[in-house]
Amino acid sequence: MSADPHTPLRADARRNRDQIIAAARAIFAEQGPEVPMEEIARAAGVGVGTLYRRFPDRDALISAVAVDNFARVLNDAHAAVAEEPTAWSALVRLLYQSVELQLSLQLAMLSLRAQEIVREDPTITGLRQDLLTEVESLVRAAQDEGHLRKDVGAGDVALLFAVLLRRLPSRQKDLAEMSTARCVAIMIDGLQSQPGSELPGRPLGRDDLR
């Protein structure tokens, strides 16, 4: 007798869920969160009925994708802090690993409904605050090291992400990726502590993003 006859079913359900989230994440990043659910099911290799058993409506799927996405970015941030020799290099690494963050920001900015979901879901809110806390810690540490200019805050860095990652559409994927990489490099150069133009106003903190 099997120790637990339900284990294969749970494994299948988990695999289906992971496939649906992965497909939705890719499609949302390219086309936005209003894509027909049938198209997401097809890309995930599952039936529409299976998709709706896992996610009863579009809001539930958007929420699950956003949770998964913010968790991935937060894990990337933790790994960068643990593995890089300086806070500045960890921040630079996180900036270059911005592909996952792109979807989170697009979900929040390009769809009013998705923006409401991201703002109202307590799990997403907690992950977002954890990520901002990590960025804030990196910003302060990189400033203490002398690598990051003193007149910026975590809010400035987060908003730079938002502006940068609203990548202009391009028919050529390699051109879009190259343009993003160039913008990241220019942004990093502007964040370094060498003398530059004086910034207007004051540094933006995490509380300014509420």
For domain 57-209, give the CATH superfamily: Tetracycline Repressor, domain 2 (1.10.357.10)
Which residues neighbour 150 within 8 Å (Cβ) at sequence distance 6 or greater?
A: 143, 193
Block residue for tokens 């969160």: 33
What does the pLDDT read at residue 97? 80
Q: How confident is the model at residue 13 (pLDDT cuts 50, 70, 90)?
A: confident
The C-alpha atoms of residue 15 and residue 152 are separated, in whole angstroms, by: 43
What global pTM score does this model have?
0.79
CB 101 within 8 A of CB 160: no
- Mind listing the pLDDT tens digit for each residue in 40-57? 999 999 999 999 999 999
Angle at 154 between CA 153 and CA 160, to 5 degrees: 95
Domain boundaries of the chain, sorted by first residue: 1-56, 57-209
1-56 and 57-209 agree in CATH topology: no
pLDDT in tens, 14-35: 899 999 999 998 888 778 888 9
**Region 1-56: CATH code:** 1.10.10.60
Contacts of 35 (CB under 8 A, 6+ apart): 27, 28
Convert the pLDDT of each residue in 171-181 to its tens digit. 666 776 777 77
Residue 1, CB-side half-sphere exposure with 13 Å CA sphere: 2
DSSP 172: -
Q: 68-123 pLDDT, tens per residue?
A: 988 988 999 999 999 999 999 999 998 888 766 666 666 766 677 888 888 888 99
Q: Over 50: is that where the pLDDT of 2 sits?
A: no
